[in-house]
Each structure stands twice: as C-alpha cells, then as structure tokens.
Structure 1
Amino acid sequence: MSTVFSKIIAGDIPGRIVYKDDTVAAFLTIEPVAYGHTLIAPVEEIDKWTDIPAGLWAHMNEVAQNVGKVIVEKFDAERAGYLIAGFEVPHAHIHVFPADDMSGYNLSSAMRHDETDDAKMDAAAEAIREGLTQQTAAK
C-alpha cells in the first residue's frame, strides 16, 4: 500500500510540493512547527532512513541543505532546524523548519492541520520555490 507521502509525490492527493526530481521530493508538512516546515523524502518508499542507499541519502541532504538556506533567508530564521523522526509515516523523511530556538524540535507542539492558515501555507510554499529557483539560477 502506498504511503501518504507517495500519494503526495505522485500527485494523487494534494500537497504543497516545493521541489521534485526523479529521486527526491520536498513538500510542506500539513502539521508544521512553523510556516515553511518542509519534509524531504525519497520518491521510492523506504521506511527507515538507515536503509536509504548512500548516494540517495547524500542527495536528500543536499536538497535539505538548499531548502534550509532558503528557509533561513525567506523566514528570517536564526537557523534551519533539521530533524529525523520517522514515526509519523512509514516513509523516510527529513524535517527542515525555521528555528530561532529548540521549540521546533518538539513535533508534539506542531500546529494541527485545522489550525494552519491556507494562505500562509501557500505563501510559504511559494517563497521556498522562489528561493530554490534563485539558488539554481545563481549557480
């Protein structure tokens, strides 16, 4: 059975995808610790991050780092938080989020889906997409 992440990546259910290539996708979580909270996942369904092949893991982290740089800039965050949890969905993923302190590392304090503002979520996704496009153009 496909995971919810596979369904988002495939476009079978709505998602705010900010980056996608043949092996990795990045999209906003529906329960963010802050607007801009992005998940980086392999396209292939792999449950545990420790089972991800080294080359794919390196690429996921490159995407996570690029997203993190954009998050720091676009959300005026002191840092980009980085977290691997993996209990929410059986599909390996990296959480990257705006962080000014350690509170974002507590996923139990995340906003519920019904607490988020759709306009702010859409704006966050667009800001990250724009920032990633600018990064690519600058290379």
Structure 2
Amino acid sequence: MSSIFTKIINGEIPAYKIAEDEHHIAFLDAMPLVKGHTLVIPKKEVDVIFDLESEEFKNLWGFAQNVAKKIKNAVPCVRIGVAVVGLEVPHAHIHLIPINKVEEMNFKNERLQLSAEEYADIQNSILNS
C-alpha cells in the first residue's frame, strides 16, 4: 500500500522534515491549516492508525508528543491541536496543529499557500527550538 507518504519516507519526494527516528517521521503539511501544521507518521505502511500493534501505537504517540513540544516552543500558539482523520492519504498519520482557537482545527478552512522560504523558516524554527 504505497502512498505519497511512502515516497516521502524513501526520499523520492522532498518534505520539510522536522523530526525522524528509525520508525517515525514528522514533516510540515504541504497544505497546512496554519503555519507549523505538521504530520507525524510511522514509517511502517499501515492505513488505519488503530491497526498498528500496541507498542507501535504507543511509540508513535510518544514521538508525536516530542514533536508537539518542539512545535509549541517554535510557533506562537495557545496549544497544539491533535487530529487523526485518515481519509486523505491511506497511511496512518497524526495532525499536529498550532492553534489559538478551536476554529483553526476546521479542515474545511482554506489552506495556506506558503512559499519555499516560509516553509524553510518554519522548519528551521522548529528544528532549533
């Protein structure tokens, strides 16, 4: 079940990575709701997040927690919102979204159009937080 995320994991498609380990990767969303909107995924190809083995599931959330803390330190916001939708790409993923109000978590909102420079600035801010 190869997806666009598999291509990112394999380096076939560039992404603004902000964290990676042996089993997980986090990168800025290509169609963000707000600046700093990040996707956290397991490198293992699994469509539904609840199909991960228990340890894999726990480890993914632990990785996401560390990423969320880095985002919170780098992006001005009240908190980091979390969403698991799983309909857009058939690969388990967690949305980490810096928010100041609940309306910013609405996936019907217009997505930001960021320049490569804006993505790089956000990436650097998070990496250096």
TM range (shorter): over 0.9
What's the offset of the Cα at 1:108? Answer: 2.1
Question: Aligned residue pairs: how many?
Answer: 129
1:67 alignment partner in structure 2: 67
Displaced runs of 4+ in structure 1, greater than 3 A?
none
The two structures, once aligned, show a CA RMSD in angstroms of: 1.3
1:8 alignment partner in structure 2: 8
1:121 alignment partner in structure 2: 119
> Given that residues 97 and 105 in structure 2 are in contact (C-alpha distance below 8 angstroms), is that contact kept between their aligned partners in structure 1?
no
2:45 alignment partner in structure 1: 45
Query: Aligned in 2, Cα 1:98/1:56: closer, same or farther, shift over 3 Å?
Result: same
The one-character-per-residue Cα deviations of 1:82-107 (angstroms, maximum 9, x if unpaired) are 10000000000000011111123211
Identity of matched residues, %:
33
Structure 1 unaligned blocks of 5 or more:
132-139
Scaled by the length of structure 1, what TM-score is found?
A: 0.87
Scaled by the length of structure 2, what TM-score is found?
A: 0.93
Structure 2 unaligned blocks of 5 or more:
none
What's the offset of the Cα at 1:76? Answer: 1.6
> Given that residues 83 and 94 in structure 1 are in contact (C-alpha distance below 8 angstroms), is that contact kept between their aligned partners in structure 2?
yes
1:136 alignment partner in structure 2: none
Name the amino acid aligned to 2:89: V
